[in-house]
């Protein structure tokens, strides 16, 4: 897992070898669709959630993400004017395959985003986009998640005929991801030893970064077995705030993007209850108890940068708690 976290800049570079025309054709299918439904599980579902925010903000196309195991309950709403985007790095996840079968039977157009070309999902799709980032051995997805985000970024900008510009922006991300890996690894290792006996973590973010809060929580759960919850920061006060007690780690993803001010206010709400605020941001604040500095990037690219320290935190927490991240339960 650590090897795959560290090779993300290289994985990203491989993912960017995509066919411009293919992306433009798929982008047009999405724009022409009566409705667009993503279906995925786990980490891939959080990548799809980033895609949802990007499609809305840049492509001005609304879509929704349906949990693959719930897809059957929505199948009656799927028709020939529906585009279903199935996201699965293995291309074999049964819940996703089942949902796609139902969608095909309803006449929908199937677009899949997979890391394994000869997978079941690829065989069932009208269009397949390959991550090309090399096999992912770790059960907990890391490099394939970053590659999925890059694919969504390319697909979104293809909607406004800017595939080339998007690819150039993503090429600039190699060094930014490498920077996010290098400048935090040791500090996160130390932080993990400080927090290893904590039993509840909350991850807060807004907008496009909310998907990363959820992904960060999933990583912690699946390899270090600590309860964690990703929350839309604005939702904290509607109940969950009651659970925030002194010393509880609250990880706040608050880059200086369009969500910055409100997210910082939500961190203050948690801090007023005694939370230990761990902030992922390009900008310092005395609200933070622990600052994980990330480089400044275009505001739609922060998800690709913010996820890196959360992968490392989950990895180091697992090791600090005496577990093997490569053999999760």
In the complex with ligand BG6, the residue whose CB is nearer, 80 or 329, is 329
Q: How far is the CB of 41 from ligand BG6 (least distance, A)?
A: 4
Q: How far is the CB of 327 from ligand BG6 (least distance, A)?
A: 13
Q: How far is the CB of 201 from ligand BG6 (least distance, A)?
A: 18
d(CA 63, CA 52): 6
In the complex with ligand BG6, the residue whose CB is nearer, 18 or 90, is 90
Residue 59 gets which letter from DSSP? S
In the complex with ligand BG6, the residue whose CB is nearer, 154 or 223, is 223
d(CA 135, CA 178): 20
In the complex with ligand BG6, the residue whose CB is nearer, 295 or 328, is 328
- For residue 305, CA distances in Å to 16, 99, 189, 282 come to 17, 31, 18, 10
Q: How far is the CB of 42 from ligand BG6 (least distance, A)?
A: 3
In the complex with ligand BG6, the residue whose CB is nearer, 89 or 281, is 89
**242 — phi, psi (to 5°)?**
-60, -20
| Chain residue at closest Cβ approach to ligand BG6 | 42
Q: How far is the CB of 49 from ligand BG6 (least distance, A)?
A: 13
Residues that bind ligand BG6 (CB under 6 A): 41-44, 88-90, 93, 96, 139-141, 222
Residue 91 gets which letter from DSSP? S
Tokens describing residue 26: 């798929």
Crossing angle (nearest 10°) for helices 163-171 and 143-158: 150
Tokens describing residue 144: 């394939």
């Amino acid at each position: 897992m650590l090897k795959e976290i560290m090779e993300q800049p290289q994985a990203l570079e491989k993912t960017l070898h995509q066919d411009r025309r293919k992306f433009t054709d798929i982008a047009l299918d999405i724009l022409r669709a009566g409705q667009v439904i993503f279906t995925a599980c786990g980490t891939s579902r959080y990548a799809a959630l980033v895609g949802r925010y990007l499609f809305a903000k840049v492509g001005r196309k609304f879509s929704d993400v349906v949990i693959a195991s719930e897809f059957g309950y929505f199948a009656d709403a799927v028709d020939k004017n529906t585009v279903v985007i199935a996201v699965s790095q293995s291309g074999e996840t049964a819940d996703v395959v089942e949902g796609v079968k139902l969608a095909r039977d309803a006449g929908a157009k199937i677009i899949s985003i997979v890391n394994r070309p000869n997978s079941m999902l690829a065989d069932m799709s009208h269009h397949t986009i390959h991550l090309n980032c090399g096999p992912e051995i770790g059960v907990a997805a890391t490099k394939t998640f970053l590659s999925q985000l890059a694919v969504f970024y390319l697909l979104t900008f293809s909607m406004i005929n800017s595939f080339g510009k998007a690819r150039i922006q993503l090429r600039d991300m190699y060094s930014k991801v490498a920077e996010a890996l290098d400048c935090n690894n040791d500090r996160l290792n130390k932080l993990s030893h400080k927090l290893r006996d904590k039993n509840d973590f909350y991850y807060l973010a807004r907008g496009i970064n909310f998907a990363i809060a959820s992904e960060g929580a999933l990583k912690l759960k699946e390899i270090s077995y600590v309860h964690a919850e990703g929350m839309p920061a604005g939702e904290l006060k509607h109940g969950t705030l009651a659970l925030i007690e002194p010393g509880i780690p609250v990880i706040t993803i608050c880059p200086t993007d369009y969500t910055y001010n409100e997210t910082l206010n939500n961190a203050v709400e948690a801090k007023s209850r005694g939370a230990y605020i761990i902030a992922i941001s390009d900008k310092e604040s005395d609200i933070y108890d622990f600052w994980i500095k990330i480089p400044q990037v275009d505001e739609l690219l922060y998800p690709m940068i913010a996820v890196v320290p959360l992968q490392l935190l989950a990895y180091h927490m697992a090791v600090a708690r005496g577990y093997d991240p490569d053999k999760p339960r």
